Chain A
Amino acid sequence: MPDATGLELIAQDLRQEHGDDTVLGTDFFRDKAAVRVAPAGIGATLEFLRARGFTFLASVHGLDYHPEEPRLGVQYELLDMTEVDRITVTLRVPLDAPTVPSVTPAWPTADHQEREIYDMFGVIFDGHPDLRRILMPEDYEGFPQRRDFPIGGEPVLFTHNEPQVPGYWK
C-alpha cells in the first residue's frame, strides 16, 4: 500500500492537477490508503491513478451511511499489479441528488458492478450504457440495501405471536 506520506503526495498531486475541490480528504486506516473525492471528479481521479500505475479496478461497491449525510457512498478499489499496491477512492452523494458519473466507458469491469449499486441503493450512474436492475426483478420497487429498507422475510411463529397470524394452520 502507499504509506501515509505516499498517500498525501498522491492527494497533493491530484489537487494540483484537477483542482482543490476534487479531493475532499484522505484516510489512512490499518495500512490502507483511501482518497475521498467529489462525485464529479471521479473519472479524472481514476485516470490520474491509472497513469500512476493503478491499472486494475478490483471492485466498485456501494454503501449507505444512514443516518449520516451525505448518505450514499460508492467506493472504488484500485490495484497496482506491478508494485502490488492498493488504493481506495471513495465518494458520497446525498439521496436527493444521487448521480455519479459512470466510469464504465473507461473501466469496463464497472459495468455489472455499477448496475448492482443502482439496483441495491438507487445511485444513478450517468453515462452507463445499460443501467437497469441486475439482481432484483426488473419491475421491483425500492432499493433493498438501503439502511431504512425493511429486511422483510417471514415472521417466525411462536405461541406468543400466533394471534397475529390467526388460523395459519388452516
Chain B
Amino acid sequence: MSEIETRPGGLTYREMEASHALSHIEHPEHDELLTLNLGPHHPATHGVLRLLTTLEGEVVRDIKPIIGYVHTGIEKTAEDKAYWKVIPVVERMDYLSYYFNAMAFCGAVETLLDLDVPPRAQYLRVIHMELNRIASHLLWLATGGLDLGAISIFWYAWRDRDLLLDLFEMSSGQRMHTRYFQVGGVVEDIPAGFAAKVRSFTTRFPERIAQFERLIDSNQIVLQRLRGTGTVDEATLLSLGVTGPLLRATGNPWDLRKAQPYSSYEDFDFRIPVGTVGDNYDRYRVRMAEMLESIRIIDQALDGLPEGPYITADRKYALPPRHELATSMEALIHHFKLVTEGFRVAPGEAYYPIESPRGELACFVRADGSSKPARVHMRDPSFVNLQAFKPMVEGDYLADLIASLAMLDPILGGIDR
C-alpha cells in the first residue's frame, strides 16, 4: 500500500531516507499503514527530534526516531581544549541540567587526579545540583503540560523556574551554563544572603507544588491521557538501559544518589519516590515527588553547610586566590601555568556516573598525560532512554505518543551531543 519504494543500498539521500519506512515489509499483518514524519520541526517534539511514525489509523504500529539534528561535536571540541576549558563546552550538552554535566566531568577528572574536594565545596555542589534538578523538572512539567494542552501550567512552572535562575545568577553571575563547578570544587564561594534567599525559596516551594498537584493530579483529562498510556515493564526498561524517573516509575528504586553516593550525598536523609505500574501517570507523580525530596536535601545541606575552603588547596589544579598573586611568586607561577597551558593529567581512564534528572549521566575521560583530554564521552541518559520510546508507544494512539514523549523527557542536546 505504501507508495514509498524501498531500494536496497539506495544511492541518493532521498532514497536512503525513503528506505527507513520499511514498516509495510516488517509488519505484514497490518494493512493500510501510513508513514508519518513528525519533526524535526514540530511543536510537540522536545527539540529537534524526528520520528518516523507508522500508523494504522490512529494506532502507532512502528516508530523510528531519527536524531542528529543538533549534533554539535561537543566530544570532539572537548579534545581540543584544556581541561579547565572543557567545562563550559560540556555544560552545554544536556542544556537543562548544566550543573550535572559539569559535575560528571569534574568528577571524572578528579578521579583521574585523585583529588579531594573539600566538604564545603561538596555541599555547595549538592545544593546547586538539587536546585538544578528542580529547575529541570519544572521545565519538564511546563512543556509536558504544553504538549497535553494544559498551557496554564507553563506559566506557573516558569514563574518558579525564574526564581531558581535568579538564585543561580546570584551565586555565579549567569542564569544558565554557569561554569560554577570546577575541578576540585566550585569557582567561588556563595555570596552573603544566598543561603537566606535559597531558604525563602524552599519554604515557599512545597506550597507551589501542592498547588500544581491540586490542579493536575485529579484532573479528568490528565488522568485519561496519562493513566494507562505508555506502559513498559521493568524488565524491558532494564534491558534497554533505562535509568532515572522512567525506571523508578516501574517500582525499581535505583538511584545513584543512594546506591553509589558521590559528593557527600550519603550525609543527607531523603526518600526515593517510586511508582507502581510504569505508565505515564506514574512518571508524572515520581517527578513531582522528586522535587519535594530535592527541597529536603537542599534544606539539610544548608543546615549542615561546613565552613572551609570552596576549592581544593592544591595549587597545581586550582587557581590561587587573587590577593596572593601580589605577594607570592609561587602563586603567580601557578596562576600563569594554569591559565595558559592548564594542568596536566597523568595517563588513565575514568568513568564517573551521577544521577541527573533523567537518569544515569556519566562522563568517561581518557587522559594521555597532556593538558588536553584525549577522549571525553558523556553517557547521556536521554540517548539511552530514547530506545525505550518504541515499546512505550507501540499499540497506543498518536495522541498517547505525544503524552509519552512529554513524560519521557528527552533533551535533544544530550541525545545528539
Please tell me whether chains A and B touch each other in their complex, using a CB distance cut-off of 8 A. Answer: yes
Residues of A at the B interface (CB closer than 8 Å) are 29-30, 32, 34, 55-59, 61-64, 75, 77, 81, 84, 86, 88, 107-109, 111-113, 116, 120, 132-139, 144-145, 147, 149, 151-152
Q: CA A139 – CA B254 in complex, angstroms?
A: 40
28 contacts between A and B (CB under 8 A): A29-B348, A29-B349, A30-B348, A30-B350, A55-B238, A58-B353, A58-B360, A58-B379, A59-B379, A61-B364, A61-B377, A63-B375, A75-B364, A84-B259, A86-B351, A86-B353, A88-B351, A107-B239, A109-B384, A111-B387, A120-B75, A134-B67, A136-B71, A137-B13, A139-B13, A145-B76, A151-B76, A151-B80
Give the shortest distance, in Å, between A59 (CB) and chain B (any CB): 4
Does B362 sit at the interface, judged by CB under 8 A? yes
**Interface contact B13-A138, CB-CB below 8 Å:** yes
Give the shortest distance, in Å, between A51 (CB) and chain B (any CB): 15
Q: CA A152 – CA B76 in complex, angstroms?
A: 10
Secondary structure at the B interface, as helix, strand, loop or mixed, is mixed
Does B307 sit at the interface, judged by CB under 8 A? no
Give the shortest distance, in Å, between B390 (CB) and chain A (any CB): 10
**B16 cross-chain contacts in A, Cβ below 8 A:** 132, 138-139
Give the shortest distance, in Å, between B388 (CB) and chain A (any CB): 9
How many CB-defined contacts (below 8 Å) exist between A and B?
Answer: 99
**B374 cross-chain contacts in A, Cβ below 8 A:** 63, 147
**Interface contact A108-B260, CB-CB below 8 Å:** no
**Interface contact B75-A135, CB-CB below 8 Å:** no
**B76 cross-chain contacts in A, Cβ below 8 A:** 144-145, 149, 151
Q: CA A67 – CA B283 in complex, angstroms?
A: 46
Does B386 sit at the interface, judged by CB under 8 A? yes
Does B266 sit at the interface, judged by CB under 8 A? no
Q: CA A139 – CA B386 in complex, angstroms?
A: 23
Q: CA A112 – CA B416 in complex, angstroms?
A: 11
3 closest cross-chain pairs (CB), A and B: A109-B241, A59-B379, A135-B68
Given contacts A77-B379, A134-B67, contact A56 B80 (CB under 8 A): no
**Interface contact A112-B387, CB-CB below 8 Å:** yes
Given contacts A139-B16, A151-B76, contact A32 B350 (CB under 8 A): yes
**Interface contact B379-A61, CB-CB below 8 Å:** yes
Does B112 sit at the interface, judged by CB under 8 A? yes
Q: CA A75 – CA B112 in complex, angstroms?
A: 17
Q: CA A29 – CA B345 in complex, angstroms?
A: 14
Q: CA A126 – CA B254 in complex, angstroms?
A: 32
**B254 cross-chain contacts in A, Cβ below 8 A:** 81
**A144 cross-chain contacts in B, Cβ below 8 A:** 73, 76
**A59 cross-chain contacts in B, Cβ below 8 A:** 241, 351, 362, 364, 377, 379, 384
Give the shortest distance, in Å, between B117 (CB) and chain A (any CB): 15
Given contacts A61-B379, A77-B351, contact A134 B68 (CB under 8 A): yes
Closest to B111 in A: A30
Does B150 sit at the interface, judged by CB under 8 A? no
- Count of interface residues, chain B, beta-carbon cutoff 8 Å: 43
Q: A84's contact among B17, B260, B360, by CB below 8 Å, is which?
A: B260
Does B203 sit at the interface, judged by CB under 8 A? no
Q: CA A144 – CA B79 in complex, angstroms?
A: 12
Q: CA A110 – CA B134 in complex, angstroms?
A: 30
Interface residues of B in 8-31 (CB under 8 A from A): 13, 16-17
Further 18 A-B residue pairs, CB within 8 A, beyond A109-B240, A135-B417, A139-B13: A30-B111, A30-B350, A32-B351, A34-B349, A56-B238, A58-B241, A58-B360, A58-B379, A61-B377, A64-B375, A75-B364, A84-B259, A86-B353, A108-B387, A132-B16, A136-B68, A144-B73, A151-B77
**B375 cross-chain contacts in A, Cβ below 8 A:** 63-64
Closest to B364 in A: A61
Q: CA A137 – CA B17 in complex, angstroms?
A: 11
Does B383 sit at the interface, judged by CB under 8 A? yes
Q: CA A133 – CA B375 in complex, angstroms?
A: 20
Q: Scoring B residues 237 to 255 as 1 if CB is less than 8 Å from chain A, else 0, what string do you get?
A: 0111111000000000010
Does B114 sit at the interface, judged by CB under 8 A? yes
Does B366 sit at the interface, judged by CB under 8 A? yes
**B366 cross-chain contacts in A, Cβ below 8 A:** 63
Q: CA A77 – CA B75 in complex, angstroms?
A: 18
Q: CA A105 – CA B279 in complex, angstroms?
A: 26
Q: B362's contact among A77, A137, A151, by CB below 8 Å, is which?
A: A77
Given contacts A30-B348, A138-B17, A145-B75, contact A57 B241 (CB under 8 A): yes
Q: CA A102 – CA B172 in complex, angstroms?
A: 45
**Interface contact B241-A135, CB-CB below 8 Å:** no
Given contacts A63-B375, A64-B375, A145-B75, contact A30 B364 (CB under 8 A): no
Q: CA A149 – CA B16 in complex, angstroms?
A: 25
**B386 cross-chain contacts in A, Cβ below 8 A:** 112
